[in-house]
Amino acid sequence: MGNDLHDQLLERFRTQGAKALPTTSFGRLQKTAAVAARVAAAAVAGRLRGEERNRASLSPRAAAKLAEGFGELKGVAMKAGQILSYVDMSLAPEARRILATLQVMSPPSPFSHIQQTILDDLGARGSTLLGRLEHTPVASASIGQVHRSSLDDGTPVAVKVRHPGIEAAFRSDFRTAAFGTLFASLVAPGVNVDEMLAEAETRFLEECDYDLEARRQTRFREIYAGHVSISIPAVHPEACSRRVLTSTWHDGLSLDELIARARFAAERVRAARSLYEFYVGTLYRHGLFNADPHPGNLLFAPDGSATILDHGCVREFEPDLVQALVQLSRAVREDDGNEVKASLAMLGMRNPNMDFEVTREILRGFYAPLLKTGRRAVEPDQAISLRQVAKLKKAILRMRLPGKLLFLFRIRIGLYAVLARLGAKLDWIELEEELAGSSTL
């Protein structure tokens, strides 16, 4: 049933016309309440049919209603659904598969709006691009949607266009307590998270600026130019603006397709190593990290080589802060309490001695894949469930770390979830040290 609902939802998203995106705080609250009512009704119906054996689970029908509502809302709600789909291993597989629809598709904006945005931003250049633009999007995400086209020289391109009103929708979300609670529930429920929400708002609003994303994507492409297993699509600046981003088109397998088709362990190992190098290694080597490792942003070649598609949510760190992160990783692995405290102080923790045994336990859980030597797969229980995330982040927030560090947690937690699904066996300590020891900072 779950797969049927997934396919039905994906087809409905691809073919239905989008409803007007609510952009005011009142309109988004109203829509959120309607989504909650639909999910509750589906959950009750699912229990009556025996689909849901306990109240904590999410039935396939309830998951479909949740995905449908989040897809219509876009913004913070849709990002929350994406995080749920690949981080929360406590959800039933069919519920996660249905929510995973949000990684690639939601109700698209009308083509007339997409057309007008391209013409307004690119003028005559936009007219040429529009002449070859496919009307049906290949993806529709929380901020924009992607259409296939080609340049005058025949180069196939992906044209990402921002949803009309999405920036206003994000601003409304962060002014509304209900949406703050929704996002906080995924990272630190029950805790005062003002600084974290301010950081999240800054990062998400930056994602609405495609000029900024184009510069970041170009930088990542320069870093990985000529790499044997990591590629970044080329940006075409003449066909870009604040609301339009045009990149060279890349074909590839989704994460699920790679897992299903991989014949040899080497393919999964190459994919896992590539992802770890991109998400962790770029931070250690260049002080730069992409904070959105969800599977919808990944494509793979049959040999496991990875293409990273989205570069909107990106953070830069100063060299001394990166060094503190490297030092913390080593101190936790060696269980050196003094070094752990020193590293936390360097990262901005006000009182590293406070509840240190609790802090130690949390950090060892956070770096769990790095605590055992030898080649091994990341275990599914290391792709932390939301309940574990809540416990972890409540305590971490009590450390009073700067808000700018909070998106680092999303990398590790999201990356562990993807690595657990790949099941590749690597020596994670050796890889961590290799990346930490090759810093250019």
Structural tokens at position 265: 């362990």
CA distance linking residue 408 with residue 264, whole number of Å = 32
Closest alpha carbon to 304 in 278, 282, 260, 274: 274
Distance CA 409, CA 405 (A): 8
Q: Which domain-ending residue is among 52, 70, 103?
A: 103
More confident residue, 141 or 23: 141
Answer yes or no: is pLDDT of 345 > 80.
Answer: yes
How far is residue 205's CA from residue 241's CA, in Å, rounded to a whole number?
16
For 260, residues 6+ apart whose C-beta sits below 8 A from its C-beta are: none
In a domain, 112, yes or no: no
Report the candidate in 361, 389, 376 with the shortest Cα–Cα distance to residue 91: 389
Structure confidence at residue 233 (pLDDT): 98
In a domain, 139, yes or no: no
Q: Is residue 245 part of a domain?
A: no
With a cut of 80, say whether residue 337 has pLDDT above it: yes
Q: What count of Cα atoms within 13 Å lies in the side-chain half-sphere of residue 334?
A: 13
The per-residue pLDDT for 11 is: 80
Q: What percent of the chain has a predicted confidence (pLDDT) above 70?
A: 78
Torsion over CA: 86, 187, 28, 241 (sign): negative
Q: What are phi and psi of 382, to 5 degrees?
A: -90, -10
* Amino acid found at 282: T
Reduced to 3 states, what is the DSSP secondary structure of residue 255? Answer: helix
Counting Cα atoms < 13 Å in the Cβ hemisphere of 394 gives 11
Domain span holding position 272: 250-441
Look at residue 216 and tell me if it is in a domain.
Answer: no
DSSP state of 89: T
Domain final residue pick, 103, 131, 166: 103
Enumerate residues 6+ apart whose C-beta is below 8 A from 361.
Answer: none
pLDDT of residue 327: 95
CB 158: neighbour CB atoms within 10 A?
18
185 in any annotated domain: no
Judge whether 430 lies within some domain: yes
Residue 133 within a domain = no
**Sequence-distant (≥ 6) Cβ neighbours of residue 153 within 8 angstroms:** none
In the predicted model, what is the mean pLDDT of residues 281-295?
90
> What is the number of structural domains in the chain?
2
At residue 235, the pLDDT reads 98
**pLDDT tens figures, 85-117:** 766 666 777 888 888 888 778 888 999 999 999
The closest alpha carbon to 88, from 313, 413, 424, belongs to 413
Average pLDDT for 359-379: 86
In a domain, 147, yes or no: no
C-alpha of 142 from chain center: 11
Which range, 36-45, 66-75, 94-103, 231-240, is most confident?
231-240
**369 and 382 in contact (C-beta within 8 Å)?**
yes
CA distance readout (Å), 382 to 24, 366, 368: 39, 9, 7
The rounded Cα 324 to chain-centroid distance in angstroms is 24
Closest by CA position to 332, among listed 366, 307, 298, 305: 366
Owner of token pair 């990166």:
322
Q: How far is CA 91 from CA 9, 36, 59, in A?
A: 18, 18, 9
Q: What are phi and psi of 159, to 5 degrees?
A: -110, 110
For the cut 80, the answer to whether the pLDDT of residue 310 exceeds it is yes
- Boundary-marking domain end, from 103, 125, 160: 103
**pLDDT of 396 higher than 70:** no
| Sheet with strand 139-140: strands edge to edge | 139-140, 144-150, 156-162, 244-248
